[in-house]
Amino acid sequence: MKGSKIHLRTVRTSDLEILLELMSDISNRGNYFPLELHSEVTLRSRYQVNGMWSDDNGVLVMIEPSSGKIIGLITFFKPGHYYNGYEIGYIVYDASLRGQGIAPEAVRLLSDYLFAWKPISRLQLQIQPENQASVRVAEKCGFQMEGVARAALIVDGRPTDIAVYSLLRDELK
């Protein structure tokens, strides 16, 4: 998938070392991306099973077009077995590249693809309400806030709310 700011593609074997470095550096995650760490064994094992891509979940790398450098990830997964849709998560690793329209373009590209590929009715983003950058991504991509799941996460040892944003198939721009 190609946009003007980034390209999205599936993970390749040659990406694994770079991804391990990016995913292991918790300092590049900002205040809102989960702190979960992945070991090299876990990352390689997941890649060996299905290349990090299946009918129900997947990982795409965000590639800076002129350099070919991996600058982020975007994922999709089932939020619950009963949902007729997917949740999308994303990260731009280099903080200096944030705020340049990369994440909204990635979300639009993946949203268009998922609605074309799957007979789903919705996509969703779950965002901490104070994460104004991701709120802007959701709004730029046409996602609407549905409500707040109170105390849905524990962050820094404290219960934290999550706002649920959705985009329905017939709302796709």
Dihedral sign for Cα 4, 95, 20, 161, please. Answer: negative
Compute φ and ψ for 85, nearest 5 degrees. Answer: 175, -170
Q: What is the pLDDT of residues 92-140, one digit of tens each?
A: 998 888 899 999 999 999 999 999 999 999 999 999 999 999 999 999 9
Q: Above 80 in pLDDT, residue 38?
A: no
Class of residue 99 by CB neighbours under 10 A (exposed 0-12, middle 13-18, buried 19+): exposed
Q: What is the pLDDT of residues 142-156, one digit of tens each?
A: 999 999 999 998 887
Residues 12-34, mean pLDDT to the nearest whole number: 79
Q: Which domains does the chain carry?
A: 7-171 (3.40.630.30)
CA distance linking residue 77 with residue 37, whole number of Å? 18
Instruction: Give the count of beta carbons closer than 10 Å to the beta carbon of residue 23.
Output: 17
Query: In the prediction, which pLDDT does 28 show?
Result: 66
Mean pLDDT score of the chain: 91
**pTM of whole model > 0.85?**
yes
What's the angle, vertex CA 1, arms to CA 54 and CA 11, rounded to 5? 45
Q: Above 90 in pLDDT, residue 13?
A: yes
